[in-house]
Structure 1
Amino acid sequence: MTPRPAAPAPPHVVVVGGGISGLAAAASLKRRAPGLRVTVLESSPAIGGKLALGEVAGITVDVGAESMLNRRPEATSLARAAGLADRLVHPDTIKANLWTRGAMVPMPPTLMGVPTDARALAESGVISRSGLARAALDAVMPATRLGEQDVSVGWLIEERFGKEVVDRLVEPLLGGVYAGHAREISARAAVPQVVALLDRDKSMLKAAAQATAATSDVPVFAGLVGGLGQLPAAVAASADVDVRTDATVRDLARRSGGGWNLVVGSAHDPEVVQAEAVVLATPARATARLLSDVVPDATLELARVEYASMAVITMAFRRRDFPATEGSGFLVPPVDKRDIKAATYSFAKWGWVAEAGRGADRGEDLLVMRCSIGRHREEHVLQVEDEELVQLALEDLSAAVGLSVRPVDWHVQRWGGGLPQYAVGHVDRVRRVRASVAKVPGLAVCGAAYDGLGIPACVASAELAATQVLDALDEQGEWTHD
């Protein structure tokens, strides 16, 4: 009896990078083509990237991203698919303040820094009388038309409202998201919703007011009880993919017969991993290095993407020692020359953090909060020991809210080169990168360097990369997927 031929081995797809983008890409591949063999190679000792948990005073909290946009479905859908639906929560409060000119004032309503209420802007005290007079010109100025042109966020909003609105409102908001500078960040890449206002009304304030009035009652943000840092491991476990840590990919090359060779490990003991397709979910410069021989055009574009460094300082204080505060925290305009750029009262923002702190210090309640320090090209501020970063944060908190005690415990998480900067022209740059990569079958890229820093945007780019890879395998006759 003639034996049946062995079934062909399923195609192997390697995802390089174990941050949330890489893990989401791997999960998407397995969900849509369950028989695929998928391996994630992560160079560091742990997966998760900028989603990470740390411990302060025995309380486990996020020391990276702590929330995700809830009004886009990609991130919350990923959490539900990973079995975390029962842990999804929304902030107890997201009322932010501004610490500016030495005073704590309420943040007036804005759409990414664009004022939506002239009276509230005036009553907030954030903008001077001369600044308010300049901002009011938005109502009578001719419409701003960009055509296909890209400009910086700062240029666009200063054109409509003047310099002070950029310095006092836009800069602190973008500093919190990008750790960058409004006059360098691409409007089309970072705040497309603001660019879209130009087509709604000649007055940007009026258009922003209309846009926010139509906003649904759905909460803006979501998090996870126990921390967003749980998401990477949950995604990896639910997707049933092979995850390898401490696995640095040093080289990527096409095989003569099709597919890819990846050189993994140290130069003294390299390992060659073969794959039919590859997804690069790595930062721009690492991706540029791996594509240098394969897609040199993309390498040149990616090498120009700059990154900012920052640090998150998490501290725990006894409730009885902590001064009375309002809202979920405050932002700091860089023009005020402070060291911290933002502070979050985690105990007020997240009910689960407050609960975790109850009785945590030998029966006494602890309040956990965090501060962030660091902006693009200001890395010198971070070039000190952890203890000095904590001291800088405490000095600013003393001036801002009257804090006069040291924390019971603290944790410093440094994110060196962690946040890509979307310079003017970024959208076109990404388009050129993807066009070049698309010419090479079985290769795709994804991550925060492309379509947005937020978790939903990263997941969306991962889904796109998975689609591109599966389509390529279809065309090559390697695999058929739904």
Structure 2
Amino acid sequence: MSSVLPTTSRRATEESGGRPHVVVVGAGIAGLTSAFLLQRRGCKVTVLERSGPEYVGGRMASIQRDGFYLDTGASLLSRRYRAMLRLADLAGIGDQVLPSSDVVGLMRDRRVHHLRVGSLPRMAAGLLRFAPFPTDLPKLMADHVRIRRTLDWYDMSAAARHDGESVAGYAARRGLRPGTVDHLLDPLCMLASLQDVERTSSIAPFMLLNSLLGGGGLFTFAGGVGRLPRSLAAQLSVTYHAHVRQVEENSSGVSVTWQAEDGTAERTERADACVMAVPAPQALDLYAQMERPFADFFRRVEYTGSVHVAFGLDRPTAEKAVMVNVPRAEHPALVGVILPHNTAPGRVPQGRGLVMAHFRGSWSDQHRDLPEERLIEHARAALRTVRLTPEIEDRTVMTHVLRPGQCVVFRRPGDYRELARLGKAWPSNSRVRLAGGDFFTQSSTHHSICSAAIAARRLTDRLGLTPAQGSYK
């Protein structure tokens, strides 16, 4: 093998039994996807993850509490996520993909309006019934048709020409009524980025619509969305509690220095290549050789945090939607609730219910450090105010608070233009690749999987391997 890899580290290749050795930093869904695909393409892969196995998958993890699987980030998955469904098949768990109910709820005047997102005609009919100003919908739909052609899961550069104004700026330019902003654009913006319409690029709501419209509905996994990353990790060599200190590239390979949590001496992995699938600020700290234009942009990347409060119930809720959105016109802090027991049979313990209350990024950033009891009471009070899921008052058998500080990157006006420029400028001969939605695309689980597939393919090319065995895209 080494004879056909003249530009790779012979020592690293020889030590891995003649196979190219790749180190992947980070066992989120992007890191695991890239590691899995590179392993299928004949590489020896080592994954280094600083947390424990419970949180494998990162923002696509599911942790278990008293028999309930709680999704730490992403929860509702669209049938348009074809790369994710393909990955599940490759990982051998295609039979654990569960068709989900596609009934979602939108709140206006404290009333929940239901619509079906799996069918375009049904969704359109539901929006017409719900929208406070139905005459604004043709403008939104016309713009969606125009923009969606540029929304490529693997490459967002074409969408850059539609970037340059905030969601609020777009609404003002198009003459959309305040009620349309409050009850349609704001919830879409929250689902995409957990950020306010005044700060987020106008592409965000159309990205969400692109995920939902005409996609054939939703799906989930038995055991939560974390079932997919857990399955990938089980087929890889993952070292947990590994704190990576430095990634250094040279003409013959890559050196990755890391230390175990127990404080033992630092170790150095010598490899032919490296994939960094970590939050952008961490990538800057680890990879000092990153060229300045990339470093400058990633230094400006801004994350939105979140607070999620889980209520495990001894019975399902009367509300049958899989999700109910709460616009800020209805409540200033609450984004809405996810109801996993309504997605598919077997998603929660038999006869139980699960309510996941999600809070806006701006509120979460200010209140994340409150004691758990206070956050639970805030969630109870918010759900009381909007008259949602009254079962939490006397049917709760489990509570748990999740407070991810780097929940999602939100893209500001102009960010996509910069991403389009930078995404094509990463050195083609580099042995270090970035994977994940935090870097050159949208910060979502599916974009992260697609980004990881691109990183694996480009390293395949760099290492002189044939992609036939692990063809993915």
Instruction: Place the TM-score, normalised by the shorter chain, in its bin.
Output: 0.7 to 0.9
Q: How far has the Cα of 1:332 moved from its partner?
A: 0.8
Give the structure 2 partner of residue 58 of structure 1.
Answer: 67
Q: How far has the Cα of 1:52 moved from its partner?
A: 2.2
The residue matched to 2:406 in structure 1 has which SS? strand
Instruction: Show CA shifts across 1:259-285 (max 9, x none).
Output: 112221279832222111111111111
Q: Give yes or no for the alignment of 1:40 onto 2:35.
A: no
Q: Which amino acid aligns with 1:371?
A: A
Alignment of 1:414-433 (within 5 A): 414-433=403-422
Q: Which amino acid aligns with 1:454?
A: S
Q: How far has the Cα of 1:460 moved from its partner?
A: 0.9
1:245 and 1:24 map into 2 onto residues whose CA distance is 17
Q: Give yes or no for the alignment of 1:69 onto 2:78.
A: yes
Q: Which amino acid aligns with 1:308?
A: T
Give the structure 1 partner of residue 255 of structure 2.
Answer: 261
Q: Which amino acid aligns with 1:233?
A: R
Instruction: Show CA shifts across 1:138-181 (max 9, x none).
Output: 8999x999993513334334433233211211112221332112
Q: Is the 8 A contact 1:158 1:166 kept in 2?
A: no
The residue matched to 1:227 in structure 2 has which SS? coil
Instruction: Show CA shifts across 1:15-54 (max 9, x none).
Output: 11110101000111112x22x2111111212321112223
The residue matched to 2:436 in structure 1 has which SS? coil
Q: Give yes or no for the alignment of 1:223 onto 2:236.
A: no
Out of 213, 234, 238, the position equivalent to 1:237 is 234
Give the structure 2 partner of residue 362 of structure 1.
Answer: none
Q: How far has the Cα of 1:453 moved from its partner?
A: 3.2
Q: Give yes or no for the alignment of 1:98 onto 2:94.
A: no
The residue matched to 2:196 in structure 1 has which SS? coil
Q: Give yes or no for the alignment of 1:462 onto 2:439.
A: no
Give the structure 2 partner of residue 353 of structure 1.
Answer: 347
The residue matched to 1:74 in structure 2 has which SS? helix
The residue matched to 2:396 in structure 1 has which SS? coil
Q: How far has the Cα of 1:378 moved from its partner?
A: 4.7
Greater Cα shift, 452-461 or 53-62:
53-62
Q: How far has the Cα of 1:300 moved from its partner?
A: 0.8
Distance 1:397 1:473, change over 3 A: same
> Tell me, which stretches of 5 or more residues in structure 1 are unaligned?
1-5, 197-210, 359-365
Q: Give yes or no for the alignment of 1:148 onto 2:144.
A: no
The residue matched to 1:249 in structure 2 has which SS? strand
Q: How far has the Cα of 1:288 moved from its partner?
A: 2.3
Q: Is the 8 A contact 1:250 1:265 kept in 2?
A: yes
Give the structure 1 partner of residue 173 of structure 2.
Answer: 159
Give the structure 2 partner of residue 293 of structure 1.
Answer: 289
Greater Cα shift, 300-309 or 367-376:
367-376
The residue matched to 2:321 in structure 1 has which SS? coil
Out of 243, 246, 255, the position equivalent to 2:241 is 246
Distance 1:277 1:376, change over 3 A: farther
Bigger radius of gyration among the two: 1
Out of 326, 338, 361, the position equivalent to 1:375 is 361
The residue matched to 2:403 in structure 1 has which SS? strand
Q: Is the 8 A contact 1:66 1:228 kept in 2?
A: yes
Out of 432, 441, 449, the position equivalent to 1:451 is 441
Distance 1:164 1:245, change over 3 A: same
Moved over 6 A (4+): 108-111, 133-141, 143-147
Greater Cα shift, 168-177 or 376-385:
376-385
Give the structure 1 partner of residue 154 of structure 2.
Answer: none
Instruction: Show CA shifts across 1:411-453 (max 9, x none).
Output: 2222111211111222232233334432552121110213233
Out of 20, 23, 42, the position equivalent to 1:14 is 23
Q: How far has the Cα of 1:190 moved from its partner?
A: 6.1
2:74 and 2:160 map into 1 onto residues whose CA distance is 35
CA root-mean-square deviation: 3.5
Distance 1:379 1:22, change over 3 A: same
Q: How many residues align?
A: 430
Q: Is the 8 A contact 2:103 2:116 kept in 1?
A: no
1:193 and 1:372 map into 2 onto residues whose CA distance is 17
Q: Is the 8 A contact 1:254 1:294 kept in 2?
A: no
The residue matched to 2:308 in structure 1 has which SS? strand
Greater Cα shift, 300-309 or 328-337:
328-337
Greater Cα shift, 392-401 or 300-309:
392-401
TM-score where L is the length of structure 2: 0.80
Alignment of 1:80-479 (within 5 A): 80-91=89-100, 93-101=101-109, 103-106=110-113, 117=124, 123-124=129-130, 127=132, 131=133, 148-150=161-163, 151-160=165-174, 161-188=176-203, 191=206, 215=214, 219-238=216-235, 241-255=236-250, 257-265=251-259, 269-319=265-315, 324-353=318-347, 356-358=349-351, 366-376=352-362, 378-399=364-385, 400-401=387-388, 402-403=390-391, 404-405=393-394, 407-449=396-438, 450-474=440-464, 479=465
The residue matched to 2:307 in structure 1 has which SS? strand
Q: How far has the Cα of 1:384 moved from its partner?
A: 0.9
Q: Is the 8 A contact 2:335 2:359 kept in 1?
A: yes
1:105 and 1:313 map into 2 onto residues whose CA distance is 21
Q: How far has the Cα of 1:377 moved from its partner?
A: 7.0
Q: How far has the Cα of 1:461 moved from its partner?
A: 0.6
The residue matched to 1:336 in structure 2 has which SS? coil
Distance 1:79 1:396, change over 3 A: same
> Tell me, which stretches of 5 or more residues in structure 2 are unaligned?
1-10, 148-158, 469-473
Q: Which amino acid aligns with 1:236?
A: A
The residue matched to 1:90 in structure 2 has which SS? strand
